[in-house]
Amino acid sequence: MKRKIFLLVLFLGAAGIEALPGLADAQNVFPSRPIQIIVPFPPGRVSDLVARPFAAALEKAVKQPVVVVNKTGASGNVGIQGVAVAKPDGYTLLASLSTISVTPEVDRIMNRPPAFKLEDFAPIALLASDPQVLVVRKEAPWMAAADLVADAKKRPNQIKYSHGGIYAIMHLAMELFTHAAGIKLVQIPYPGGGPAMTALLGGHVEASTPGPQVVYPQVKAGALRALAVTGSKRLPGFPDVPTMKELGYDVDYYVWTGLFAPKAIPQDIMKVLREATRQAVNSVEFKTAIENMRTTVTYLDADEFQVFWEKEIKTLRQVVRLIGKIQ
């Protein structure tokens, strides 16, 4: 009798589950819990400033909380490496600057074990990008990039420039310019873009190549003079500042923020993330936030971003090899 009652309860329970459409698959629907976006740099850096409004927009698309986590250390390698080895379930993503492309080559040149491999990541989308701006102090005698180049050719290794770290964004930008112009400047590294900018404003160096969102207030206030931008198009915030290509220097360099997942992420989850990212990037809220930062929304979906990234890797590897080993 007890066995009959047990079997009846078991049958009715199974029938009840089948009667609730989708209940059996509820735990398999992505996403079913919060997503975290790892930013491998401190708050206030470009990738962080892009990731935060993006996370807010992504929340609306996925109907789940999206949290930005700043996991810093070793010039971004701690956070990047953490995502490389994370479970590829779509709940841990990476918002990285373009410097992710050069780290393996820098590790090779420095004869140290690689922090991560680029093959460890699956690109989801390019979110935003901007060129750097070649600036000098208002007291500088150079009114145009050609003036700086002419002076540097007369006085090789005499003009100093600041950057935020060896092989980092500003360093690569200036090295591309000096190589294209055939000049030699003295590079002075600082622990980040902020100190590098302070050094320029304080007169400790003569030039630098920060991002547009950093230099815009200083240029408008007259403290700095913008001579050129490293991209192939003029910036809306600096319509009168020519590109280096316009001036005859073969430089086309952008600092971008891209969204990545661990490489082995299932394609069905990747499909959800790609569509949600598309919605988030095209939202009014995200576009407005990025434009207010003097940064440019530059959306590329996964396939286009992969092609773009592969080209970037080749270009930036050449720059690192051009710089060589610096102790």
DSSP 111: T
CATH code of 133-229, in short, is 3.40.190.10
The CA-to-CA distance between both ends of the chain, in Å, stands at 83
pLDDT tens per residue across span 150-177: 999 999 999 999 999 999 999 999 999 9
The full length of the chain comes to 327
* pLDDT score of 327 more than 80: no
Q: What angle, rounded to 10 degrees, do the helices at 169-181 and 302-323 form?
A: 70
Give CA–CA dist 114/188, Å, rounded: 26
Same fold across 34-130+255-323 and 133-229: yes
Q: Say if CB 133 and CB 229 are below 8 A apart.
A: yes
DSSP 242: P
pTM of the predicted model as reported, rounded to 2 decimal places: 0.85
CATH architecture of 34-130+255-323: 3-Layer(aba) Sandwich (3.40)
- Reported as a pLDDT band with limits 50, 70 and 90, residue 88 is very high
Structure tokens, 251 = 């430089």
Q: What is residue 20's predicted lDDT score, i.e. its pLDDT? A: 41
Give CA–CA dist 98/77, Å, rounded: 13
Higher-pLDDT residue of 241 and 73 is 241
Give CA–CA dist 206/191, Å, rounded: 18
Query: Where in the chain are the domains?
Result: 34-130+255-323, 133-229
Q: Say if CB 134 and CB 304 are below 8 A apart.
A: no
pLDDT tens per residue across span 13-36: 444 444 444 333 445 799 999 999
Q: Which residues contact 176 (CB under 8 A, 6 or more apart)?
A: 230, 251, 253, 319
pLDDT tens per residue across span 296-308: 899 999 999 999 9
**DSSP bridge partners of 36:** 67, 92
Q: Say if CB 100 and CB 165 are below 8 A apart.
A: no
Q: What is residue 271's predicted lDDT score, i.e. its pLDDT? A: 98
Q: Mean pLDDT over residues 122-127, rounded?
A: 98
Radius of gyration (C-alpha) of the chain in whole angstroms: 24
Q: What is residue 213's predicted lDDT score, i.e. its pLDDT? A: 86
pLDDT tens per residue across span 226-257: 999 999 999 988 999 999 999 999 999 999 99
Q: What's the chain's average pLDDT?
A: 90
